[in-house]
Amino acid sequence: MRADLQLAPPKDTEPAYIAIFSFLFLFSLYLLGGHGSKINGPPSPSAIPVLGHLHLLGKPMHAALARLAARYGPLFSLRLGSRNAVVVTSAEHARECFTEHDVCFANRPRFPSLVLVTFDGTTLATSSYGPSWRNLRRVATVQLLSAHRVACMCPTICAEVRAMARRMYCAAAAAPGRAARVELKRRLFEVSLSSLMETVARTKTSRTEADADTDMSLEAQELKAALDEFIPLVDAGNVCDLLTVLSRFDVLGVRKKIAAAVKRRDAFLRRLVDGERRRSLVDGCEDDKKSMISVLLSLQKSEPETYTDTVIMAMCSSMFTGGTETTASTAEWAMSLLLNHPEVMKQAQAEMDATVGNSRLLGADDLPRLGYLQCIISETLRLYPVVPTLIPHESAVDCTLGGHHVPSGTILLVNVYAIHRDPAAWPDPVAFRPERFEDGGTAQGRLLTFGMGRRKCPGETLALRTLGLVLGTLIQCFDWETVDGANVDMAEGVGITLPRAVPLEAMCKPRQTMLDVLGKL
């Protein structure tokens, strides 16, 4: 008998060999992170079965992704449970995503938890790219958040900022040593919500004489409680979104928690829409003075199938979430940085005194002349971007990114937090140095707080205007110190946004030069 025939396995064992070799081949592909061919894909760590690379994503996720980028480079791929993802950690690759491949990455992944929070994914920030999104974007940019509309909102914002300053002055006047201990996030959230309530729904937060000096109205407490509950549960590293079995059966109870918080938020929004509908039937007003809900209700009359109540509530939700939590968090980070750098605070106060003076409060028209204040805001947004990995994008078709193949259906995570701290782009990147923005051009293409491309946040103008008025008033009217004299702990919390791990408390005392102005508020 020939030797080669003697070495061949018996015919009845061939199916077993084929099965084993097939399993090993498929398992190797699985470990490499692919669900098919991964020709010239971005570099990737070794994956493990089922989880993929989820075990590598600690909290906060942007910090974990930055550590992986240090090892695998500014463009690498991950398998997050059942989903493929590509992570971008350089300004160069981010620009490529949102210029050359802007249409490719214009879509959003449908994470189950985000679908619950965003009215089945119909909010402006999370809706799928297409005609419906383009229509919502047009309404937002032309009728709700245009430069003219934001200018019309400024008197309302200024009035609410003055009310905040008055409450803080009264609290300080009644405190020992005329210095009040305040939890800033609550007051900042309240002023942001109060401004939006009047603009969005022509109504105010309810305050009686008995609670006029408290830091939060009932409405602010209601909305903030809901946001505080579901925001930490929705981010791109949420295992309940990425592992099918956990998502389908809600093993960890995450969907139940989110649904309860969303129910409370939606009841708040429904009251606003119904109230404005009743007011619109009784009184009319000029287009410039219409609330945002009134504008949307007018559109509903002509296109009821497009502008349903759900769509209107989704638009309101985007405004309140994007205009309260994020604005309040950024102002809180800015004050944390200023308390740790009192020399910057003094320089900002000196600019305020020279530009605005001590006989009146800061107004919206003053902001363009307060260059150093704008530098402080820019530097805060660099160090602590509102959404550190941006809202995730998803590729609609195959593309080539940084010379690597990226298949359709891939989640795109842009680690803005890491890009803003890249030593190759920012000298002394972790230092708080507002002066780096003084020439006005150093951030071109590198400050990505509000995103880039067609899905860039349309609320940038409103956010910067509100931040300028709130932060400027706090600097102009009060002297600030830490509670115990030690540096503020800058530990970060978790969630799709970037909150502080511990709310900031500080001692606020009215500035001697502003006592007359504050006393007349």
pLDDT, position 351: 98
Give CA–CA dist 348/369, Å, rounded: 12
Q: How far is CA 6 from CA 1, 2, 3, 9, 396, in A?
A: 7, 6, 5, 8, 54
Q: Between the ranges 269-278, 302-311, 334-343, where is the mean pLDDT highest? A: 334-343
pLDDT exceeds 80 at position 445: no
pLDDT, position 37: 42
Give CA–CA dist 489/285, Å, rounded: 48
pLDDT exceeds 70 at position 186: yes
Mean pLDDT value of segment 402-426: 96
Per-residue pLDDT band for 217 (boundaries 50, 70, 90) equals confident
Mean pLDDT value of segment 364-380: 97
Per-residue pLDDT band for 159 (boundaries 50, 70, 90) equals very high
Element (H, E) at 481: strand 478-482
What residue ranges define each of the domains in the chain, with the CATH number in brackets?
3-519 (1.10.630.10)
Check if the beta carbon of residue 76 is closer than 8 Å to that of residue 43.
yes
Average predicted confidence (pLDDT) for the chain: 88
Give CA–CA dist 114/117, Å, rounded: 5
Mean pLDDT value of segment 455-475: 96
Hey, what are 36's tokens? 């098919």
DSSP 8-state secondary structure symbol assigned to residue 324: I
pLDDT exceeds 50 at position 52: yes
pLDDT, position 237: 66
Mean pLDDT value of segment 269-275: 93
End-to-end CA distance of the chain: 108
Higher pLDDT among residues 2 and 361, named by residue: 361
Mean pLDDT value of segment 255-284: 89
pLDDT, position 9: 44
pLDDT, position 188: 93
CA 331 to chain centre: 13
Give CA–CA dist 421/285, Å, rounded: 48
Check if the beta carbon of residue 201 is closer than 8 Å to that of residue 293.
yes
Check if the beta carbon of residue 319 is closer than 8 Å to that of residue 200.
yes
pLDDT, position 230: 85
Q: Dmax of the chain from CA atoms?
A: 112
Helix orientation angle between 292-302 and 131-139, rounded to the nearest 10 degrees: 130
pLDDT exceeds 50 at position 34: no
Higher pLDDT among residues 13 and 45, named by residue: 45
Residue 457 known to bind ligand: yes
Q: How far is CA 168 from CA 162, 191, 215, 359, 395, in A?
A: 10, 12, 8, 18, 48
Mean pLDDT value of segment 126-144: 93
pLDDT exceeds 50 at position 13: no
Q: Between the ranges 64-68, 242-246, 286-290, where is the mean pLDDT highest? A: 64-68
Return the percentage of the chain with pLDDT > 90, whole number: 69
